[in-house]
Amino acid sequence: MRPKAMEYFDNLIPENMVKIKEQKEQGKNVVGYYCVFTPVELIEASGAIPVGLCATKQDPIAAAEKDLPRNLCPLIKSSYGFAVTDKCPFFHFADVIMAETTCDGKKKMYEYMKDIKPMMVLDIPNSSTYELKREHWVHELKRAKAFLEEKFDTQITEESLQKAIKAHNTERTKLMELVSLNKHNPAPLKGQDLLKVIWARQFQLDRETYLEKIQEIIDEVREFIKNDKSKDDRPRILVTGSPTGVGQEKTLNIIENQGGQVILQEACSGVKGLVKNVPESDDSLTSIAEKYMELPCSCLSPNDGRFDLIGSLVEEYQIDGVVDITLQACHTYNIESKMLKDFLQENYEIPLMQIETDYTDADTEQIKLRVDSFLEILK
């Protein structure tokens, strides 16, 4: 059963590629971003539209490789390729880009991209104590606030920050309500559909309709669950690792086509940024800092939060096995994979399979064989 309301999400991104032009023509400011670390509340509080940028297609990579090395993460090359070819409407209509110093490849690529668009690059503290990290994050948010205020000739007030925080907390809560439906056996939602809904969050330009459509899916699925008496013995899979965006669902497709259930993703394109909200307080910048500094990205050292989150999801969603998707040349996730495998084996006695891949289809048959073997072990 596929919820009827999913049709809205099938078309949301391509339709909004047209609507973003209309927003600009109406005088709206637009801030493009790539990463889950981006404080979208701050952008929205400035009166600008925060919008995700194209980064998950193979098509523009050849153009990127004229400047960037071939043995680089495909996400970085795709991001830059869309920028230099001007084939991403969201990038084209963005006034500025808010970037971040996560991995070394991205922050060096941004040195090229700054010649295409004005940029604000957040310095992500990747190794420090809690107090120093919070202090650093608050400093970076103040710097970003000043940048947006100057760029758009506006003032970001405490009131506008609190309003934006409430709006984005509502989105996160509603998305986690949707994801939690897959605790049911059988999982009523395919992993590919959950990806499509969560990924659309950064491209949606009409929050009210976006939330209404999510609620329609929730209502439809709950009705299905109420009447469903079946059980599904297909292995329940949690996907983690490098972000898997719309346009490169190759591995998710293979897992589900070969007989696995993708229950949810922990990755940046999954629930990693959704499980915690921004605390509501009278000091919104500090509250935003506290939320984003706890995101368990592999660029952090140590990254115990990722293991804790995956462990809780494994128990909560009755996971049988974990698939760790590592994009080619994504060194931080690649190194962390063995640590995660040992952690899952020692604490939960469930296996992990790592798949290192890129955006091409060259390894599709190889991945199929490996997934078949993994699912057979789980059965």
Q: DSSP letters along 4-20, please?
A: TTHHHHHHHHHHHHHHH
pLDDT tens for each residue of 139-160? 999 999 999 999 999 999 999 9
In 3D space, the residue among 1, 18, 9 whose CA is nearest the CA of residue 213 turns out to be: 9
- Identify the burial level of 192 via C-beta atoms within 10 angstroms of its C-beta, where 0-12 means exposed, 13-18 middle and 19 or more buried: middle
Sequence-separated (6 or more) residues with CB below 8 Å from residue 135: none
Between CA 277 and CA 287 the distance in angstroms is 9
Q: What is the CATH number of domain 6-159?
A: 3.40.50.11890
When pLDDT is averaged across residues 18-34 and rounded to a whole number, the result is: 97
Instruction: Give pLDDT, residue 130.
Output: 87
Question: How confident is the model over 353-361, as a mean pLDDT?
Answer: 97
pTM (global) more than 0.95? yes
Under 8 Å between Cβ of 105 and 72? yes
Amino acid 75: pLDDT? 98
pLDDT band at 168 (very low <50, low <70, confident <90, very high): very high
% of residues, the chain, pLDDT over 70:
100
Q: What is the pLDDT of residues 171-198, one digit of tens each?
A: 999 999 999 999 999 999 999 999 999 9
> Is residue 91 predicted with pLDDT exceeding 90?
yes
Helices of type H across 258-352? 284-292, 304-316, 331-348
Residue 378 has pLDDT above 90, yes or no: yes
Residue among 17, 10, 40, 27 nearest 90 (CA): 17
pLDDT in tens, 286-321: 999 999 999 999 999 999 999 999 999 999 999 999
Task: List the chain domain ranges.
Answer: 6-159
CA distance 316 to 348: 12
Tokens for 342? 């040992």
Average confidence score pLDDT of the chain: 97
Q: At a CB cut-off of 8 Å and minimum separation 6, what does 151 contact?
A: 29, 95, 96, 118
Identify whether the C-beta of residue 83 lies closer than 8 Å to the C-beta of residue 57: no
Q: How confident is the model at residue 221 (pLDDT cuts 50, 70, 90)?
A: very high
Q: What is the mean pLDDT of residues 135-142?
A: 97
pLDDT of residue 1: 80
Q: Tokens 């940024």 sit at which residue?
A: 273
Side chain identity at 67, as an amino acid letter? D
Cα–Cα distance between 150 and 157 in angstroms, integer? 14
Res. 132 pLDDT band, cuts 50 70 90: very high
CA–CA separation, 65 and 141 (whole Å): 33
Q: How confident is the model at residue 26 (pLDDT cuts 50, 70, 90)?
A: very high
